[in-house]
Amino acid sequence: MAGQGRKPKSDAIRRAHEQGAASLIEPGALPVPALVADNELMRECWDWVVDGSGQIRTQDIPQMTMLAYWWATARQCMANLEAANGGIVTQVENSFGDMKQAPDIKTMQLATNQIRQLESELGISPLARQRMGLMKMATVQMAASVPEHIFRMLDEHHGH
């Protein structure tokens, strides 16, 4: 048949994503990059997400590092926007004496968008967790219905 290609060699090296559950690491054993470990806000995010559940894999370290970075960026922007009276600074005066939007607002918008995207990719946002749960449920239902369907077809074939 055309398009099947050559059979893989028995001693072929497999890609990491083909290892499945083997690539999961022990809870709490995910190595923390130095960039994250040296920054209090980044470490706060890392510890919050990598809670020992073993959900995060070693392949996720670059994305987790970026998530921690954008988390720290958003937290820093929030701190910069805090007003002395307990409010939030939304406008600042430029060099001409005109009021303009505080630059930290745009930066925080960018950071929160990046956080949302990374959380979704890592499967740690509420929506991503809900989707994963629905997929697991659909898989279980399909696994249960396939044998039932086969037995029904056999019964119909044999006139039962």
* pLDDT tens profile 36-54: 999 999 998 888 888 756 5
The proportion of the chain whose per-residue pLDDT surpasses 70, expressed as a percent, equals: 62
Which of 56, 76, 160 shows the shortest CA–CA distance to 118?
56
- Check pLDDT > 70 for residue 73: yes
pLDDT of residue 124: 81
Exposure string for 118-134, b = 16+ CB within 10 A, e = fewer: bbeebebbeeeeeeeee
The proportion of the chain whose per-residue pLDDT surpasses 90, expressed as a percent, equals: 33
Q: How far is CA 121 from the centre of its chain?
A: 4
And the tokens for 103?
């630059």
14 sits in the region (left: phi over 0; alpha: psi -120 to 50; else beta) called: beta
**Under 8 Å between Cβ of 112 and 74:** yes
And the tokens for 84?
């002395």
43 SS3 class: helix
> Average model confidence (pLDDT) for the chain?
77
17 SS3 class: helix
The predicted model gives 128-157 an average pLDDT of 64
And the tokens for 83?
């007003």
pLDDT of residue 33: 92
- Check pLDDT > 80 for residue 97: yes
- Check pLDDT > 60 for residue 57: yes
> How many other β-carbons are positioned within 10 Å of the β-carbon of residue 63?
15
- Check pLDDT > 60 for residue 22: no
Q: From CA 141, how far away is CA 144, in angstroms rounded? A: 5
- Check pLDDT > 90 for residue 104: yes
Choice between 122 and 27, residue whose per-residue pLDDT is larger: 122
The predicted model gives 4-17 an average pLDDT of 58
